[in-house]
A and B are shown apart, each in its own frame.
Chain A
Amino acid sequence: MSVVGSVVGFMIQTLAVSSIYILVAIGLSITLGTLKFVNFAHAAMYLAGVYIGLGIALELQFSGDIARSIGLGNVGLDLGFLAALAIIPIITFGLGLLMERFVARPFYDRPDTDQILVTFGILLIVQELIRAFVGGRSLTFSRPAWAEGAISLGPLGTYASWRLAIIGITSVLVLAVYLYIEYTDVGLAVRAGTEDTEMVNLLGVRATRPFLVIFGVGSGLAGAAGVVGGPVFSVVPEVGVGVLVPAFLVVVVGGVGSIVGSVVGGLLIGAVEVGLVMNAPTWSSVGIYALAAVVLLVRPAGLMGAVEVDE
């Protein structure tokens, strides 16, 4: 393979991995920025995206102990991948609104440690519920037929269509959310609220609703990440924790409350991970922690962050 080809190949693989981290990280980042809420349960939205998405796109086999004892069989709408991609963000947006109301809101004024314990606990509960009903074994989330095979990009080489599809879908979603935040009243309240929530209130803007909406939007993106990530990462109950860690590092690297920061952080984390997986696989997870540690040492607020993480 030519040098250009291998560089482009590396970039495309990085973009594909980064895409999923970015989609999960944006919600984490915005919630931390606006509501100062550390929401590890955010990864439950990814799980919802994977498992409900599988049920919508194809078929979900219930083979966990509880499902067997009550005789629950297979449930599948078989509507295809695109239908899942369209429906899941709406479902997870709704789940996000519920989560804000019943999980997040009672804990806004509590210390970060309480928030972490509760939200991580919820993530584990969701994970174990999935194990009890669906089962712990790895399921297959097949790629849609239209994304099988490879596409030739002329002199740049030939690449898996699926990776290009992931990159395209993520770009559209991230751009839409970016424009929403940049050009609407809700978005302005969110951005101002990220900088100084109390001040927004004192100016007569009731930011609760914009914050709620953006919580839902973040959840919607994490759900979409589950649909996109299902065929990439394995479909097991632990995959929620599996994407949570890199997504959280993306927020640390990129800076809290910034979409551009999440994108930059996601690309860096993705590049380090892919680079190490290709050349020194055993070091890949060490590498992303090391990157996050270095960024925190040099720029405590992250690359694009307005506020420091501990604020």
Chain B
Amino acid sequence: MLLETKGLTKRFGELTAVDEVNLQIQEGDSLSVIGPNGAGKSTTVNLITGLLNPTEGKVLYRGEDITGQEPHEIVQQGLSKSFQTASIFPDLTVERNAVVASLGAEHGSFSLNFLRRLGNYDDVLERAEQTMRDMGLYEQRHVEAKSLPYGDKRRLEMALALASDPDLLFLDEPTAGMSPDETDDTVDLIERIKEERGVTIVLIEHDMEIIFRVSDRIAVLNRGAKIADGTPDEIQGDPDVQEAYLGGVEI
């Protein structure tokens, strides 16, 4: 088991945003988390990646309890996240963006290397370059991130999450705001990442077409609680899911 949550719960005052959610993610098995707006999808991911601390429950990564660790510690263990909003460093070049992200995975703690010249770690630069090539951004490496077209910005964002060479990658609505062509390219890219890098992907998405193309399993959240969990076929036929998520409409 790569990642497991046990009774994960987050309360904001009276509101229970995430209610005893149990998820299991096998290595290499891509999971999509779906649910109506406000179902607690993003909150669940934020609890796992350390951005929020759970009120109750545990997060186990490779069997080890990582609940309540700092975000940078969790990233260094191999979990990475790409964000809903464009989270890049707009004034840095594409290359520097990639280097910052690569730095994170292994050398992000800055022990005693205050005077180290940028690029003294070959592995960091290599990984940054490889990531830029994989994401088709290498030609634009000297461009400031803010001058990239929208679709490329979103890909750079994914590149940042990938540069730490994660085993588990969370993608929060990776195609939000993209044109149909850009969406198609991005889904191809996600499939390639899955295959070539062997990254396990957890996808948060609204678009059913993407979900069925990419996921091996689907977990459905509604009002903070998990109401179904299974293969795309099982989910498609599940009456609870149709009721809660689609208001009874056939998928």
Binding site for B on A (CB under 8 A): 183-189, 191-192, 195-196, 199-206, 209-210, 213, 306
Counting CB contacts under 8 A, is B51 at the interface?
Answer: yes
The B102-154 residues at the A interface (CB cut-off 8 A) are 103-105, 107-111, 113-118
Q: How large is the interface on B (under 10, 10 to 19, 20 to 34, 35 or more residues)?
A: 35 or more
**Contact A185 B116, CB 8 Å, known A195-B91, A202-B49, A204-B76:** yes
Q: Name the CB-closest residue of A to B51.
A: A202
Q: Judge whether A205 and B92 touch: CB under 8 Å.
A: no
In the bound complex, residues from chain A placing their C-beta under 8 Å from that of B83 are 202
Contacts A189-B100, A192-B97 known; list 5 others, CB within 8 Å: A184-B117, A186-B115, A189-B103, A204-B104, A205-B104
For A199, give its contact among B89, B96, B164 (CB under 8 Å): B89
Q: What is the bound-complex CA distance between A12 and B131, given in angstroms?
A: 49
Q: Judge whether B110 and A185 touch: CB under 8 Å.
A: yes
Q: What is the bound-complex CA distance between A184 and B80, given in angstroms?
A: 24
A90 → B minimal CB distance (Å): 14
In the bound complex, residues from chain B placing their C-beta under 8 Å from that of A205 are 72, 100, 103-104, 108, 110
Q: Judge whether B113 and A199 touch: CB under 8 Å.
A: no
Q: Judge whether B114 and A200 touch: CB under 8 Å.
A: no
For A201, give its contact among B71, B88, B113 (CB under 8 Å): B71
In the bound complex, residues from chain B placing their C-beta under 8 Å from that of A209 are 109-111, 114
In terms of DSSP, what is the predominant structure of the interface of chain A?
Answer: helix
Q: Name the CB-closest residue of B to A214.
A: B114
Which 7 A-B residue pairings sit nearest by Cβ, starting from the closest?
A204-B104, A204-B75, A203-B104, A205-B108, A209-B110, A205-B104, A195-B89
In the bound complex, residues from chain A placing their C-beta under 8 Å from that of B81 are 202
**Contact A185 B113, CB 8 Å, known A192-B92, A205-B100:** yes
Q: Name the CB-closest residue of A to B104.
A: A204
Q: What is the bound-complex CA distance between A306 and B90, given in angstroms?
A: 9
Most buried by A among B89, B99, B113, B116: B89
A96 → B minimal CB distance (Å): 14
Q: Judge whether A188 and B116 touch: CB under 8 Å.
A: no
Q: What is the bound-complex CA distance between A93 and B83, given in angstroms?
A: 37
A45 → B minimal CB distance (Å): 19
Q: What is the bound-complex CA distance between A192 and B92, given in angstroms?
A: 7
Q: Judge whether A203 and B117 touch: CB under 8 Å.
A: no
Q: Judge whether B87 and A199 touch: CB under 8 Å.
A: yes
In the bound complex, residues from chain A placing their C-beta under 8 Å from that of B107 are 185
In the bound complex, residues from chain A placing their C-beta under 8 Å from that of B92 are 188, 191-192, 195
Q: Judge whether A185 and B87 touch: CB under 8 Å.
A: no
For B114, give its contact among A186, A199, A201, A203 (CB under 8 Å): A186
For A206, give its contact among B72, B99, B100, B114 (CB under 8 Å): B72
Counting CB contacts under 8 A, is B203 at the interface?
Answer: no
Q: Judge whether B110 and A210 touch: CB under 8 Å.
A: yes
Binding site for A on B (CB under 8 A): 49, 51, 70-72, 75-76, 80-81, 83, 87-92, 96-97, 99-101, 103-105, 107-111, 113-118, 160, 163-164
Q: What is the bound-complex CA distance between A191 and B89, given in angstroms?
A: 9
A86 → B minimal CB distance (Å): 18
In the bound complex, residues from chain A placing their C-beta under 8 Å from that of B97 are 192
Most buried by B among A184, A189, A202: A202
Q: Judge whether A184 and B110 touch: CB under 8 Å.
A: no
Q: What is the bound-complex CA distance between A196 and B91, given in angstroms?
A: 11
A41 → B minimal CB distance (Å): 23
Q: Judge whether A203 and B118 touch: CB under 8 Å.
A: no
A-B contact pairs, 18 of them (CB 8 A): A185-B110, A185-B117, A186-B110, A186-B116, A187-B118, A188-B118, A192-B89, A196-B89, A200-B100, A202-B49, A202-B75, A203-B75, A203-B103, A203-B108, A203-B160, A204-B76, A205-B108, A206-B109
**Contact A213 B87, CB 8 Å, known A189-B103, A192-B100, A204-B164:** no
In the bound complex, residues from chain B placing their C-beta under 8 Å from that of A203 are 72, 75, 100-101, 103-104, 108, 160, 163-164
Q: What is the bound-complex CA distance between A185 and B107, given in angstroms?
A: 10
Q: What is the bound-complex CA distance between A231 and B207, given in angstroms?
A: 68
Q: What is the bound-complex CA distance between A205 and B73, given in angstroms?
A: 9
Q: What is the bound-complex CA distance between A189 and B72, given in angstroms?
A: 13
In the bound complex, residues from chain B placing their C-beta under 8 Å from that of A213 are 114
A145 → B minimal CB distance (Å): 35
Most buried by A among B91, B99, B110, B163: B110
Q: What is the bound-complex CA distance between A253 and B112, given in angstroms?
A: 35
Q: What is the bound-complex CA distance between A213 and B116, given in angstroms?
A: 13
